[in-house]
Structure 1
Amino acid sequence: MPADEPKRTNMRALRFAARDLPELVDLPVPDIADDEVLIAARAVGVCHSDIDLLEGRYIIPFAYPIIPGHEWSGEVVRVGEKVTDFAVGDRVVGECVIGTEHFGFSISGAAAEFFVAKGAWLHHLPDELSWTMGALVEPFSVAYYALTRAGGLDASDTLVVLGAGPVGLAVTAAAVAMGARTLVVEPDERRRGLALQLGAAYAVHPDEVDVLLDELTHGRGADIVVEVSGRPTVMARALELVAFQGRIAYIGIDVGGESAAKLGLIQSKELRITGSIGSPGVWPQTLRFLARSGIDMTPLVTQQFVLNDALSAIEAAHHPGPGDVKAHIRFAATLSVVED
């Protein structure tokens, strides 16, 4: 770090003070325990689940105030005595669900100039991946995990992705890299364009999928359907689009919604259905896959904000405009902190 860079004892952070009350605050740079690492944030993505947290709902208990941020990349600036796998200057990313703890939800996350993580949660960010790509590893890992749970893909498969949000587009990129012929179904024209940019063979409006899929598969249907919208009517639709002995992977989250569905198709088509949440146990493989495949997910970042405009980033994620996919908060390279 530059010799003339001033030492830092305070930092700026985005904090959810209470329900529907995001704020920018000045806080002390946090201390670390022997098994922890202090990290300077580089890029932090804003996810729909962050909005759920702000609005007072999440899948496990939490308490305000809380610093969000579970999609991130950063640089190590201090290392606890018991941490042996990381050193100052390392580029890192980290998992967000570790046992009963949810980083950025039940414990404070990465939406601050400096934040704390345990060394056991971290992974080295490959040199091939930028800071922006690093902050997209978490949503990509969700897609990668769902596809591996569903049994994997190859060039013999026709895959339909229902929904082209961040995870749906990650599914698209992963499926293309695995060799599958990929058809994306999405009402938003700009998101369809992003799907094509990521390699989808086709990207169509929901009204057009039946005719195209019938032509492509000669009436057989999709070998695998990945449902990412989380909308009950679309979740039910997956049963109709999949082929006999096909597979359905449900990623999109819906809690308590209802829709009429032709459940008899599960049995009559001999379907294999998997559901997944998060990305446990696949981060090392995900990072290798991204580094070796050359996938560029950065087109998903349609809006970028500096930390001082983080409230605008929250608003952009809460009320996205047409074609908006992912908002990122960028951080300046301010590394120097008071030494222990």
Structure 2
Amino acid sequence: MKALQFIGGDKAQVNELPIPEIAEDEVLLAARSVGICHSDIELLAGRYIIPFEFPVIPGHEWSAEVVRTGRSVKSLGVGDRVVGECVIGQDHFGFSISGAAAEFFVAKESWLHRLPDNLSWTQGALVEPFSCGYYATLRADNLDASDVAIVLGAGPIGLGVVAASARKGARVIVAEPSAHRAEVALWLGAEHVVDPTAPDLLERVAELTGGAGASVVFEASGRPEAMAVALEVAGFRARIVYVGIDVGSKAPAQLGLFQSKELQARGIIGSPGVWPQTLQFLSRSAVDLSPLVTATFPLAEGDDAIATVLDDPAQIKVHMTSTATL
């Protein structure tokens, strides 16, 4: 079978590997769509938040078809369409455990969730990033149609926040400099997009919120400057959720605003415990996330897919696809 491997030294290549064997509690899966995440690029560069070893097969955003099951597997059968969680105890699928960027790969039955019939393979491979945005809206404490939410950053996670917030009825404003990402944000339900690099950003937010500021702020860019601005665009008693990740960088922030505005803020990582809820939300709300996918490559050209992510910052989400069968 063909598999994309990161082999060290910033090198990604598609290699021919044996189809893996499965244990009694495992499932053999045929990849159908696999997304590339910024954390995959960090992995390629030799950086990740937990230990791992090269060579490794990446791929933690995926949809797949069951092609073989172990003897003790009861809930799944051949032909079932599934997606799977990536944080597995102390291990991370696609990082410390080889992932889905292969024609065939192995997962435990307990990691998997059935993909609803009305969601495509492409939408299935977007469940993982969307689950993070959806989880952010849950952590915003009863986000609903009474809220004005500002989303700072319209990358894949931020766009997931936009889609979930809009479907929950909130009025959504997005701060994003990219014209294409702004267009997708509006398509997903944002009412306005502002340029976070403009000198009149705070005035523009005040204008759009009637001077009140946002009742909910989602920081989804991971930029320290945006993390600081979140305090400034927040209204009185606003809830702030930090979704974007940055480790070690610094930016000046007006911390006194926490007290003067009586702000609440929390940081989140991933989407623990909400995958079944996320899948139900996507299926019943009819959110179509497919416009996030801006390029698609056959899995056999996975190295070109990685190169596209590295070379073209305009890409939102690049997918790799396979139709391999046993």
Q: TM-score range by the shorter chain?
A: over 0.9
- Contact kept, 8 Å, 2:202 with 2:232, in 1: the verdict is no
Give 1:87's match in structure 2, choosing from 60, 77, 89.
77
Match of 1:141?
Answer: 131
Deviation at 1:205, TM superposition (A): 1.2
Match of 2:17?
Answer: 27
Match of 1:126?
Answer: 116
Look up the SS of the partner of 2:17 in the other structure.
Answer: strand
- Contact kept, 8 Å, 1:76 with 1:92, in 2: the verdict is yes
- Contact kept, 8 Å, 1:75 with 1:90, in 2: the verdict is yes
Match of 1:53?
Answer: 43
Match of 1:325?
Answer: 316
Q: How many residue pairs get matched?
A: 324
Moved over 4 A (4+): none
**1:299 has 2:294 as partner:** no
Give 1:309's match in structure 2, choosing from 292, 301, 309.
301
Partner Cα separation in structure 2 for residue 282 and residue 170 of structure 1:
14
Match of 2:154?
Answer: 164
Unaligned runs of 5+ in 2: none
Deviation at 1:149, TM superposition (A): 1.5
Deviation at 1:216, TM superposition (A): 2.8
Give 1:242's match in structure 2, choosing from 234, 245, 268.
234
- Contact kept, 8 Å, 2:131 with 2:278, in 1: the verdict is yes
Match of 1:14?
Answer: 4
**1:232 has 2:224 as partner:** yes
Could you tell me which amino acid in structure 1 is paired with residue 319 of structure 2? Answer: H
Deviation at 1:220, TM superposition (A): 1.1
Could you tell me which amino acid in structure 2 is paired with residue 83 of structure 1? Answer: V
Could you tell me which amino acid in structure 1 is paired with residue 125 of structure 2? Answer: A
Residue-by-residue CA offset, 1:111-166 (whole Å, 9 max, x unaligned) = 00000000000000000100000000000000111111121311110000000100
Q: How does 1:168-207 map to 2 (within 5 A)?
A: 168-206=158-196, 207=198
Could you tell me which amino acid in structure 1 is paired with residue 276 of structure 2? Answer: P
Partner Cα separation in structure 2 for residue 192 and residue 107 of structure 1:
35
Decide which moves more: 52-61 or 310-319.
310-319
Deviation at 1:101, TM superposition (A): 1.1
Deviation at 1:297, TM superposition (A): 0.2
Residue-by-residue CA offset, 1:270-321 (whole Å, 9 max, x unaligned) = 1111111111100000000000000000000000011122111111222324
Could you tell me which amino acid in structure 2 is paired with residue 193 of structure 1? Answer: E
Match of 1:7?
Answer: none
**1:155 has 2:145 as partner:** yes
Look up the SS of the partner of 1:126 in the other structure.
Answer: coil
Q: How does 1:228-307 map to 2 (within 5 A)?
A: 228-307=220-299
Alpha-carbon distance change, 209 to 156 in structure 1, aligned in 2, over 3 angstroms: farther
Q: How does 1:108-119 map to 2 (within 5 A)?
A: 108-119=98-109
Could you tell me which amino acid in structure 2 is paired with residue 234 of structure 1? Answer: A
Aligned sequence identity (%) = 59
Give 1:102's match in structure 2, choosing from 89, 92, 100.
92
Q: TM-score, normalised by structure 2?
A: 0.98
Partner Cα separation in structure 1 for residue 41 and residue 171 of structure 2:
33
Q: Over aligned residue pairs, what C-alpha RMSD do you find? A: 1.0
- Contact kept, 8 Å, 1:45 with 1:327, in 2: the verdict is yes
Residue-by-residue CA offset, 1:170-196 (whole Å, 9 max, x unaligned) = 110010000000001101111101111
Deviation at 1:199, TM superposition (A): 1.2
Residue-by-residue CA offset, 1:51-78 (whole Å, 9 max, x unaligned) = 0000011011111110000000000000
Partner Cα separation in structure 1 for residue 96 and residue 140 of structure 2:
29
- Contact kept, 8 Å, 1:14 with 1:25, in 2: the verdict is yes
Partner Cα separation in structure 2 for residue 321 and residue 97 of structure 1:
27
Could you tell me which amino acid in structure 1 is paired with residue 194 of structure 2? Answer: V
- Contact kept, 8 Å, 1:48 with 1:318, in 2: the verdict is no
Partner Cα separation in structure 1 for residue 96 and residue 299 of structure 2:
22
Partner Cα separation in structure 2 for residue 99 and residue 38 of structure 1:
20
Partner Cα separation in structure 2 for residue 241 and residue 209 of structure 1:
9
Deviation at 1:82, TM superposition (A): 1.1
Could you tell me which amino acid in structure 1 is paired with residue 10 of structure 2? Answer: D
